[in-house]
Amino acid sequence: MKKQHNDFDALRSEIDAAERRVAHGIDPGPRAFVISILVFLLLVSFILPHTGDVGGWDVLFGSHGAGAAAVALPSRVFAWLTLVFGVGFSVLALLTRRWALAWIALAGLSIAAAAGLLAVWSRQTVAAGHPGPGVGLIVAWITVLALTYQWARVVWSRTIVQLAAEEQRRRVAAQQQSMTLLDSLDKSPDKENRPDGPGSEDGP
């Protein structure tokens, strides 16, 4: 019985260690390479024209060319969200493997995906005489959508592993509680089998 308790304690310690690793870290696996490629594409998209001859960096910092092309607020918001969350937090999450950073990247990219749709729409509905959406804007938006999907899969996979570890911990705790109860029953005195003392003998 003592050996079984030791086995349960060792198993519980392993589960606790696994939970601590899962609680703070992620393991993107092969997706890390895909995410790295997508981040690189985002950086390339800033070099490409987002509208007319205006590149992504010009949209970011509002250069004279961006003003002449009537670049609207949705395009600037999309560019900044893409740079901060698509590039910045994605790189930090890959380097540190921190779950919180992956969540931040996913949340920011989700907002960036919606902002990208508005940016493309704003360039399609711009006043006559101004250029429409450029190849850089289209590439950046599609890449943000793909990157959002990849981070969602990474975060969801981590959540599934954590739930499995918690379920295994509950099972081990229930088994350990059962073993403790059996030990207490084995150690309790059996009144029916206890030998009678001299005072319990019947008199003549």
Tell me: the pLDDT tens digits for 65-114? 777 777 888 889 999 999 999 999 999 999 998 888 999 999 999 999 99
137 located within any domain: yes
CB 79 within 8 A of CB 59: yes
Q: Which domain holds residue 105?
A: 39-171
CB 134 within 8 A of CB 2: no
23 located within any domain: no
14 located within any domain: no
Q: Which whole-number Å values give the CA distances from 44 to 24, 49, 115, 130, 140, in the listed order?
A: 31, 10, 19, 24, 9
132 located within any domain: yes
Higher local confidence (pLDDT), 162 or 145: 145
The helix (run of H) or strand (run of E) holding residue 49 is strand 49-51
- Taking the CA atoms of residue 111, residue 117, residue 121 and residue 123 in that order, the dihedral angle to the nearest 10 degrees is 80
Question: Would you give the end-to-end CA distance of the chain in angstroms?
Answer: 46
What is the distance between the alpha carbons of residues 78 and 125, in angstroms, rounded to a whole number? 17
Q: What is the pLDDT of residue 78?
A: 94
- Other beta carbons within 10 angstroms of residue 62's beta carbon come to 12
If one counts the domains in the chain, the total is: 1
Q: What is the pLDDT of residue 171?
A: 67
192 located within any domain: no
182 located within any domain: no
What average pLDDT does range 36-65 have in this prediction? 88
Q: How confident is the model at residue 203 (pLDDT cuts 50, 70, 90)?
A: very low
76 located within any domain: yes
pLDDT tens digits along 110-151: 999 999 999 999 888 877 777 888 899 999 999 999 999 999
Whether the predicted pLDDT of 12 surpasses 60: no
What average pLDDT does range 178-185 have in this prediction? 59
13 located within any domain: no
The helix (run of H) or strand (run of E) holding residue 196 is none
Is the full-model pTM beyond 0.75?
Answer: no
Q: What is the pLDDT of residue 167?
A: 62
